[in-house]
Amino acid sequence: MKINRRAQQRSVEIVSNKKIGAYHHMIFAVGDMALHALPGNFVAISVGGPGSAMVLRRAFAIYRTHDRGNYGGTLELVVAPHGQGSKWLTGLPMHATVDMVGPLGTNFGIPTEPVNALLVGGGYGSAPLFGLAELLKENGCRVDMVLGASSAGKIYAPLEGKRAVNSMTVTTDDGSAGTKGRVVTVLPDLIERYNVEIIYSCGPMAMLSAVQDIAKQSGIMHQCAVEESMACGIGVCMTCVVPLRDETGAIKMSRSCIDGPVMDGASVIWNSNGVIPAGTIGAPNV
Amino acid sequence: MSNFDFSTSFSNSHFPNPIFTASGCAGSGKELAQFFSLAEIGAVVTKSIMLKARSGRATPRMAETPSGMLNSIGLQGPGVDQFLAEDIPFLQKAGARIVVSIAGETVDDYGSLARRLRGIAGVCAVEVNISCPNVENRGQVFACDLIASRAVVEVVRRTLGGELPIIVKLSPDVTDIVAIASEVISAGADGLALINTLLGMVIDIDSMRPKLGGKTGGLSGPAIRPVAVRAIYQVHQAFPKTPILGMGGVSNGRDALELVLAGASGISIGTATFGNPTAVINVKEDLEKLLIERGFSTFKEAIGFAHRGENG
């Protein structure tokens, strides 16, 4: 298998940068990079400008892409400005350029037959799910979506995104929008009501792990886009690893930028931060 | 085009240009091959290979720091068997010159690893990594101990004979790097790789605990470049005939030139590749331009040029 085979590195221009709630919706003119991106893929952007003290790239899940338009191929991101790097990025003016590498990583698998799909997003983790919803709809699937966040301002659900799904459920921790509580509180009911056959999720690791528990109880397939901090995004630094069980049952520390971000929820050994799970290949003898 | 001679040598191995990857910063080579031709650079230095597969340390493994990063990978790798079966054939096919980096838990491990590297096409040198800071037992950092450093280099030398140049990678976390260099050169090292990462720590002020799973990590990036320049300068001054593979925070041609002037015969690009997949190519092009601008007709003339006029 060729690694990073669809990736390009190019200088791309910001053609739109709008604040929406707690996030920034940014559009970049990326040329034919847009042609190769699939839902679930991500891009890695260098931040801070020349001579920056921030030496590592920042990874962002692709919200959606368009092959052609006024600016040629475009690629869109939803960025939460909570770190130094993302604050720098969201503070850039129109027509500024950034160095982007992408598309990178695995994508969400699309069923060969129409099925009932439930998409679960946490915070800005909803972004890659809208492109996925469109693709699933084109393939004849029923698509329901549930989005959760700490408060109403952190739900990212644009109008056109809502139109792409059969139903939209919102949960907030503080009850400022939708049902009060976490996404998992509403999942069992949604699974039963819509006869869900596959779950797709994107968001913080704790949420993905909780979604996997429910998927397992219900005997449903679950594809999730994991979130581990990355240094390079292209598979060379080995920092973003997640313990993953392969077809043979062996557990390997697998790179979330190459073997992910989209992984089979049942293959991930969850809650492994700070530990090497027992049975991992090459684990230290203790 | 100019007639500039960009070639360099480590003992009896010759390279068309002096820009290499750094061990542990170029994956298996496959990851970077999408962005440039591996044959274009001086050599690919592989991740440090061990006898057996190794999971590495628990996550989190990385913390960004001002102009640098801490890593705590812990030598994750497939082990030498899989490395020889999969990675080496790929690099050979890509036309890369290969420097294989090896790391062991014991002195004997280094001998066993060296034995496996004999007679492999494309392998131009062996980097003996005796200085990885991310091991469970700090006592395993051979490069902090004169006797252990000597023992490792002697067993590799004995195993390889004169077949491949041995480049020994040293830690800057020692009181006197020249003393360690002297010991490994007299034990049979052909060259030195300077410098490995510096041991560091970041504490998360929210959890109020060390941020990395392995608690400590190796500091790399532009933040450590002055340490690299100093170490290379000191060692080159003491052993001007021993070639040095210089590394430590090089991200552009200007940085590379600084290490060359201090005494480096080759430059490895590590952390810069994380921020820019084509950093190796950029450095190579920039360095050539800077050397020509300064009137050098060969790369070798510039090695250690900052020492000119010194006594001894």
Residue B218: per-residue pLDDT: 96
Query: Considering Cα of A251, then A253, then A257, then A258, what sign does the dihedral take?
Result: negative
Q: Are residues A75 and A139 in the same domain?
A: no
> Is B132 an active-site residue?
yes
Residue B38: per-residue pLDDT: 98
- CB contacts of B68 in chain A (<8 Å) are 55
How far is Cα B307 from Cα B312, in angstroms, rounded to an integer? 10
Q: Are residues A129 and A180 in the same domain?
A: yes
Q: Are residues A155 and A177 in the same domain?
A: yes
Q: What whole-number percentage of chain A has pLDDT above 70?
A: 99
Per-residue confidence band for A2, with pLDDT thresholds at 50, 70 and 90:
confident
Question: Would you put residue B288 in left (φ > 0), alpha (ψ -120 to 50) or beta?
Answer: alpha
Q: Are residues A74 and A18 in the same domain?
A: yes
ipTM computed for the complex: 0.93
- CB contacts of B59 in chain A (<8 Å) are 228, 239, 241-242, 272-274
What's the average model confidence in pLDDT over A105-122? 96
Residue A257: per-residue pLDDT: 96
CATH number at residue A208: 3.40.50.80
Q: Is A4–B31 a contact, with Cβ atoms under 8 angstroms apart?
A: yes
What is the SS3 assignment for A285?
coil
A204 found inside a domain: yes
A79 found inside a domain: yes
In chain A, the number of structural domains is 3
User: Quick one: which of A197, A246, A190 has its CA closest to A223?
Assistant: A197
pTM for this model (two decimals): 0.95
Q: Is the pLDDT of residue A132 over 70?
A: yes
Q: Is B251–A5 a contact, with Cβ atoms under 8 angstroms apart?
A: no
Query: Of the candidates A82, A104, A126, which is a domain's last residue?
Result: A104
Report the residue from A9, A239, A280 with minimal CB separation from B277: A9
Chain B touched by A237 (CB under 8 Å):
yes
Cis, bond preceding A93 (omega within 30 deg of 0): no
Query: Of the candidates A180, A201, A225, which is a domain's last residue?
Result: A225
Q: Are residues A123 and A214 in the same domain?
A: yes
Q: Is A238–B272 a contact, with Cβ atoms under 8 angstroms apart?
A: no
Cβ(A168)–Cβ(A145) under 8 Å? Answer: yes
Length in residues, chain B: 312
A3 found inside a domain: no
Chain B touched by A46 (CB under 8 Å):
yes
| DSSP-H helix ranges across chain B | 30-33, 80-82, 88-93, 107-116, 146-160, 177-186, 225-238, 253-262, 271-275, 279-293
For residue A83, the distance in angstroms to the closest alpha carbon of chain B comes to 12
| A134-156 pLDDT tens trace | 999 999 999 999 999 999 999 98
Q: Are residues A57 and A148 in the same domain?
A: no
Q: Which residue has the higher pLDDT, B4 or A71?
A: B4
How far is Cα A136 from Cα A165, in angstroms, rounded to an integer? 10
Residue A200: per-residue pLDDT: 98
Name the one residue in this structure whose structure tokens are 């919102």.
A170
A110 found inside a domain: no
Q: Is the pLDDT of residue A170 over 60?
A: yes
Q: Which residue has the higher pLDDT, A255 or A286?
A: A255
Q: Is B35–A57 a contact, with Cβ atoms under 8 angstroms apart?
A: no
Instruction: Work out whether strand A58-61 and strand A42-45 pair parallel, antiparallel, or are unpaired.
Output: antiparallel
Kind and range of the H or E element at A23? strand A23-29
Name the one residue in this structure whose structure tokens are 């037992």.
B137
- CB contacts of A88 in chain B (<8 Å) are none
Q: Which domains does chain B have, with CATH numbers?
A: 8-56+75-201+222-301 (3.20.20.70)
Residue A159: per-residue pLDDT: 78
Cβ(B56)–Cβ(B71) under 8 Å? Answer: no
- CB contacts of B53 in chain A (<8 Å) are 281-282
What's the average model confidence in pLDDT over A235-258? 94
Of residues B25, B124, B132, B144, which has the active-site annotation?
Answer: B132
For chains A and B, CB pairs below 8 A equal: 125
Report the residue of A46, A55, A229 to disrupt the B interface, i.e. the one with the largest count of B CBs within 10 Å.
A55
Per-residue confidence band for A285, with pLDDT thresholds at 50, 70 and 90:
low
**Tokens of residue B204, six digits:** 């998360």
Q: Is the pLDDT of residue A218 over 80?
A: yes
Q: Is B55–A237 a contact, with Cβ atoms under 8 angstroms apart?
A: no
Cis, bond preceding A103 (omega within 30 deg of 0): yes
Q: Are residues A217 and A254 in the same domain?
A: no
In order along its 312 residues, chain B shows pLDDT tens digits of 568 999 999 999 999 999 999 999 999 899 999 999 999 999 999 999 999 999 999 999 999 999 999 999 999 999 999 999 999 999 999 999 999 999 999 999 999 999 999 999 999 999 999 988 766 555 467 878 889 999 999 999 999 999 999 999 999 999 999 999 999 999 999 999 999 999 999 999 999 999 999 999 999 999 999 999 999 999 999 999 999 999 999 999 999 999 999 999 999 999 999 999 999 999 999 999 999 999 999 999 999 999 998 865
- Quick one: how far is CA A276 from the chain centroid? 24
Residue B312: per-residue pLDDT: 54
Chain B touched by A45 (CB under 8 Å):
no
| One-letter amino acid of B216 | T
CATH number at residue A56: 2.40.30.10
Query: Of the candidates A73, A104, A135, which is a domain's last residue?
Result: A104
Cβ(A17)–Cβ(A24) under 8 Å? Answer: yes
Q: Are residues A147 and A219 in the same domain?
A: yes
Q: Which residue has the higher pLDDT, A51 or B229?
A: B229
Residue ranges making up the domain that contains A82: 8-104
What is the SS3 assignment for A168?
strand
Q: Is A238–B73 a contact, with Cβ atoms under 8 angstroms apart?
A: yes
Q: Are residues A261 and A192 in the same domain?
A: no
Cβ partners under 8 Å of residue B99, min gap 6: B20, B43, B44, B45, B46, B123, B124, B125, B126, B127, B167
A219 found inside a domain: yes
> Which residues in A230-249 are b (16+ Cβ under 10 Å) and which e?
bbbbbbbbbbbbbbbbeeee
Residue B135: per-residue pLDDT: 65
Residue B208: per-residue pLDDT: 98
Q: Is A241–B52 a contact, with Cβ atoms under 8 angstroms apart?
A: no
Report the residue from B27, B55, B73 with minimal CB separation from A282: B55
Chain A touched by B172 (CB under 8 Å):
no
For residue B181, the distance in angstroms to the closest alpha carbon of chain A comes to 28
A240-279 residues touching B, CB cutoff 8 A: 240-242, 252-253, 258, 272-276
Q: Is B274–A46 a contact, with Cβ atoms under 8 angstroms apart?
A: no
Residue A162: per-residue pLDDT: 83
Cβ partners under 8 Å of residue B203, min gap 6: B209, B210, B211
Q: Are residues A127 and A218 in the same domain?
A: yes
User: Quick one: which of A29, A149, A199 has its CA closest to A97?
Assistant: A29
Name the one residue in this structure whose structure tokens are 């950093």.
B279
How far is Cα A279 from Cα A252, in angstroms, rounded to an integer? 9
Q: Are residues A198 and A126 in the same domain?
A: yes
Q: Are residues A214 and A124 in the same domain?
A: yes
Cβ(B27)–Cβ(B17) under 8 Å? Answer: no
